Structure formats: structure tokens, C-alpha cells
Chain A
Amino acid sequence: MKHWLRLHGLAIARTIKALLRHPFSNGMNLLVIGIAGAFPLALYMVISSVAGVAQKLPVEPQISVFLKTDAPAEAGQSLYKQLQGHTELQQVRFVPRDQALKDMQSAVGVDDLLAGLDNNPLPDAIVLKAKLSTPALQLERLQKELAANPIVDSAQLDSAWAQRLQHLLSLGQTLLQAVVVLLAVALVLLTGNAIRMQILTRHDEIEVAKLIGATDAFIRRPFFYFALSQGLLGGLIACGIVAGGIYWLNPAVADLAHAYGQQFTLQLPGPLEAGVVCGVTLLLCSSGAWLAVRKHLRKFH
């Protein structure tokens, strides 16, 4: 056990030496890993920040159905009755045109303007509140059905924008997955290539070591430690880049949100996100190293 620890200690010492021997090229490599990791992390932070806000929004699925002004009153009433029996709706309210005008007068305070009108320009309306559990697709189908009804002038799904946001978010998540997969492959190849270069430059050392009785594990060890250090440091750099970027962007984001009467800032990556990013980069870099070592150390006898 002590012997084993000593072998690993020696390997770590040699790794640090190797890192310091080429500070520039290793630094560049780290930066590339950091940037590759920062991209999906930044995307994730934006999506999760927006999703956090989107969840708090009152998304009451509501459909406002405006009837044609020339539609017969009985037809409106029968549609109203018919909708009352709909299982997905929790509340169906009929708003007669006179009521709507009164409401408008009291709400907006435009008596004079409205008094100037010869007749009531507002149509009869039916306001439908759906159950929260109703899937968006079903609501959209209902909205289309109603819009197609000959007595209906227009049917508006009021939560449409919130749903669009949800769609946008899920698109963002899909995009994030694609980015993660692509960059994961890139990281494996990148580390694999870096290790391959190291194996090439240390060809003589590996050859001699093997000839005088080094085990495969002895030869592999420093490359694995190198890859692990690259993964860990690269992950930390990624977190640093994202934290710095968000810190720098947040005042502008807050101003923008303020202009819409909202309070919103992007979240900084926490210990959980940092841990996941470092863990993933560690894993990817070591698999890259594993591939390179497996492929290129075979040829030494």
C-alpha cells in the first residue's frame, strides 16, 4: 500500500514537472478546455435562470372568445351552454356586450370617448378558464375549433406567450444537449491528441523505461494524471469564465428586465454546477487519455 502510494506520488510529481516544463502550450490547452466547457455551462445558466422566472409567472390558461357582432344572441347562448359541459374547463363566463362596455367605462375612464359612439362597438364574449392540468396542445386545439366556429370572430389563447416561452426553453434545452454532445466529443479528441503529442515527445523515455522493466501502469500513470489535471483545471476555468461573464452581463440584463417592469438577473453557477462541470471535464479528459494511451502505447514492447 505504502509502495503503491509512493508510485502514485512520484507520478504526480512528474505530472506537475511536465505541466511546468511547457507552461504556454499547456496553458493554451487548458484555455481551450475551459472555453469548450464554458459554452454549455453559460447556455445552461441562461436557460435555468429564465426557466426559474417562467415558472413563477401566472400562466392561467385562458381563452377569450369574441363573437361576431352580427351573430344571433341564441347562437351565442347555445355555444356558451355547450362549453359549460366541457370537461377540461373549470370556469366558463359569458360577458354580454353591454356588460363589457360598462366594465370598460369604469376601468379605463373614457366616458367621453365612448359617449361619442352611436352604438356599442363591443361584441359578446365568452371567457374560458381551463384546468391547470390541461395540456397546451389540447388548449390550442380548442382555440382553433372555436376560431373556426362561424359565429366566432376571434378566439385568443391568452397564455400563448407563456407557452411560447416554454417551447423556446425546451428548444434551448435540446440545443444545450446537442452542444454538450458535440463539445464532449471535441474534448475527448482534444485531450487524446494532447496525450498523443506527449507520448510522441516522450517516445525515448517510454521506450527506455519499458526496456528496463517499467510496467504499463507506470507508463500510463503520468498521462492519466496529466489528463485529470487538465480536466479539473479546465472545468474550473470554464466556471470562472461563465461566472465572470455573467457578473459582467448582469447589470445590463437587469436594466433590460427593468424596462419591462421585471426584476431579473442571470444566476451565477453554484457549487453543484461547478462540480458537475469539473466532473464531466475530468471524465472526458481521462477518456481521451485512455484512448490515446491505449492506442499509442501498444507499439512499445
Chain B
Amino acid sequence: MIQFQQVTKRYPGGFEAVKNLSFEIQSGELLFLAGHSGAGKSTLLKLIAGIEKPTAGAVLVNGQNVARLSRTSLPYVRRHFGLIFQDHKILFDRNVYENVKLPLDITGFNGMEAKRRVLAALDKVGLSGKEKLNPISLSGGEQQRLCIARAVVHRPAILLADEPTANLDRDNAHDILELFKSFHQVGVTLVISAHDETLMADYGRRILRLKNGQFTA
């Protein structure tokens, strides 16, 4: 489903975040990316979503070279993804409900069915009854859940989560991972990055370990 072919990403200034990586992610797989911060995890996720373009090599999503996509067709490819950002990117000028509805607005999905989906997503992540709140009043764990609700509301085939458990205590982190597991069970492909490997160990899935932009083990 996702294929990296000798991918290198060099940022302006010469820093190589990802060096000559080749690997494949199967449809329906739950994959962990491990490594310290700066190891290239975020860059790798950004390369999958077409947020960054590889300096060399190719990133294929469903057989399509993401870097070769035109400016007009890239948005439609992005809609296959649910993105959970390290810095959340929650909009604080609107309430929880409107934040989650954003991906549906973008596709022009509106009306009762849209409302039903937003409420279902909020229910799934355990934020029922908080739709009218401003996200600023949510706790760190709740904000993370809000991001997840926004990422899944349009039912993407692939979920990319960048450090979703970074700032959470162990219990909260486990809850979040359980949530991801439930998405995995209904066939969603997941790529989750984290620097804390002890959490991943409990799930016994494939782990790709990154160091200085290269795989280690």
C-alpha cells in the first residue's frame, strides 16, 4: 500500500533527515516507528502524506508517486489519510464539534449525515458531550483525542500519527493506543511514531527503528 524506494530527504541547509530508505507497508498493517527525536520519524510520515517531497527516490501510495502529483491532485490523495500531528494543530477559534467537522467541510460533506459522523467520532474517542466546548478548555489527553476524532471522521484508509503519546501519562497513552488498535481491527492501516518503545512492546507489532535517518535493527 505504501512503498519507499531508496528515499532520501535533504532539507535546505544540507541536513539529511532520511537516508536511502526502502521498505513497504501492507494494507491493514499496524506499524510503529521508533527512534529518538531527530531520528527522522516525522519526516518519514510527512513524506508519506506528501507534505514533504523526497530529494531522491520515490514514495508510492497505492502505486502513485506522491512527489509527482500535481498541485491540484495532491489534496485528493491527502483525503485518503487521517493525520495526527505532533503539535495537534487544533483551531482554537472554534469549538470541539467544528474542529472535528473540518475534514467533512473540505469535501463538501454536510447535513445530518455529517453531524452524525462527527458525533460518532467524538463518541469513539470519549469526548461525547464536549462538542460545544472550546478546545482550550480540554486537557492534554482530551486534545489528543480531539485530534484523533478529526483524523478519523472522514473514515480514511490510512492513519498517520506523529508522537500521539508524547505528552501523555502512561494510562492516557495506553488508552490512546487501545483506540488505535480498535481502528486497526476494522482494517485501517496505521503508522504510529513514538520515542518510547516500551509502549509499543505491549502490542507485538512490526517496529521500524530509526537512527540518524536510517534503520537500525
Q: Name the B residues within 8 Å of A7 (CB-CB).
A: 108
Residue A88 is within 8 A (CB to CB) of chain B in the complex: no
Interface string of A29-51 (1 = CB under 8 A from B): 00000000000000000000000
- In the assembled complex, the Cα of A204 lies from the Cα of B71 at a distance in Å of 20
Q: Which residues does chain A contribute within 8 Å of B75, judged by CB atoms?
A: 210, 213-216, 218
Given contacts A7-B108, A301-B51, contact A212 B71 (CB under 8 A): no
Contact A205 B51 (CB under 8 A): no
A301: chain B residues within 8 A (beta carbon): 51
User: Which single member of A3, A10, A212, A215 contacts B103 (CB below 8 Å)?
Assistant: A212
Q: CB-CB < 8 A to A3: which residues of B?
A: 108
Q: Are A205 and B72 in contact (CB under 8 A)?
A: no
Answer yes or no: B130 CB below 8 A from chain A CBs: no
**Distance between Cα atoms of A14 and B91 in the complex (Å):** 15
Is A59 an interface residue when CB atoms closer than 8 A count as contact? no
* Alpha-carbon separation in the docked complex, A53 to B51 (Å): 67
Q: How far is the CA of A218 from the CA of B108 in the complex (A)?
A: 9
Report the nearest A residue to B53, measured CB to CB: A301
Q: A216-B71, A216-B72, A301-B51 are in contact. Are A211 and B106 (CB under 8 A)?
A: no
Which residues does chain A contribute within 8 Å of B110, judged by CB atoms?
6, 10
**B91 with A205: CB separation less than 8 A:** yes
Q: Is B83 engaged at the interface, CB distance under 8 Å to the other chain? A: yes
Determine whether B171 belongs to the interface, using a CB cutoff of 8 Å to chain A: no
Q: What is the interface size of chain A, counting residues whose CB is below 8 A from a CB of the partner?
A: 18
Q: What is the CA–CA distance of A6 and B108 in the complex, to the nearest angstrom?
A: 6
Q: What residue of chain B has the Cβ atom nearest to residue A8's Cβ?
A: B108
Q: How many angstroms between the C-alpha atoms of A8 and B53 in the bound complex?
A: 31
Q: Does B76 contact A (CB under 8 A)?
A: yes
In the complex the two chains form, is B76's CB within 8 Å of A204's CB? no
Q: Contacts of B102 on A, CB cut-off 8 Å?
A: 208-209, 212
Min distance, Cβ B144 to any Cβ of chain A, angstroms: 15
Q: Mark A207-248, 1 if CB is under 8 A from B, else 0.
A: 111111111101000000000000000000000000000000
- Which A residue's beta carbon lies closest to that of B111? A6
Tally inter-chain residue pairs, CB-CB below 8 A. 53
Q: Would you call B79 and A213 a contact (CB within 8 A)?
A: yes
Output the least CB separation between B104 and chain A (Å). Answer: 10
Closest chain A CB from B178 CB (angstroms): 24
B93 contacts partner chain A, Cβ-Cβ < 8 Å: yes
Q: Is B211 an interface residue (CB 8 A)?
A: no
Q: Which residues of B contact A205 (CB under 8 A)?
A: 91, 93
B14 to chain A, nearest CB (A): 21
Check B89 against A215 for contact (C-beta < 8 Å): no
Q: Which residues on the A side are within 8 Å of B77 (C-beta)?
A: 213
Q: How far is the CB of A113 from chain B (nearest CB, A)?
A: 89
If the complex has contacts A205-B91, A207-B89, are A213 and B108 also in contact, measured as CB distance less than 8 A? no
What residue of chain B has the Cβ atom nearest to residue A14's Cβ? B105
Q: With a CB–CB cut-off of 8 A, which chain B residues contact A212?
A: 78-79, 81, 83, 102-103, 106, 150
Candidates A204, A214, A216; contact of B91 at CB < 8 Å: A204
Task: Say whether A208 contacts B79, CB under 8 Å.
Answer: no
Chain B 60-90, CB within 8 Å of chain A: the 1/0 string? 0000000000011001111101010100010
Q: Is the CB of A209 within 8 A of B108?
A: no
Determine how close the nearest CB of chain A comes to the CB of B86; give it in whole angstroms.
Answer: 12
* In the bound complex, CA of A214 to CA of B105 (Å): 9
Whose C-beta in chain B lies nearest to the C-beta of A212?
Answer: B103
Q: Which listed residue (A10, A207, A210, A211) contacts B105, Cβ 8 A? A: A10
- Give A205 to B85 CA distance when docked, in angstroms: 14
Give chain B nearest CB distance to A64 CB in angstroms. Answer: 76
Interface residues, chain A, CB within 8 Å of chain B?
A: 3, 6-7, 10, 204-205, 207-216, 218, 301
Given contacts A7-B108, A214-B75, A216-B72, 18 further A-B contacts (CB under 8 A): A6-B110, A204-B89, A211-B49, A211-B51, A211-B78, A211-B83, A212-B83, A212-B102, A212-B150, A213-B75, A213-B77, A213-B79, A213-B103, A215-B106, A216-B75, A218-B75, A218-B106, A301-B51
23 contacts between A and B (CB under 8 A): A10-B105, A204-B91, A205-B91, A208-B89, A208-B91, A208-B102, A211-B51, A211-B78, A212-B83, A212-B103, A212-B150, A213-B75, A213-B76, A213-B77, A213-B81, A213-B103, A213-B106, A214-B106, A215-B72, A215-B76, A216-B75, A218-B75, A301-B51
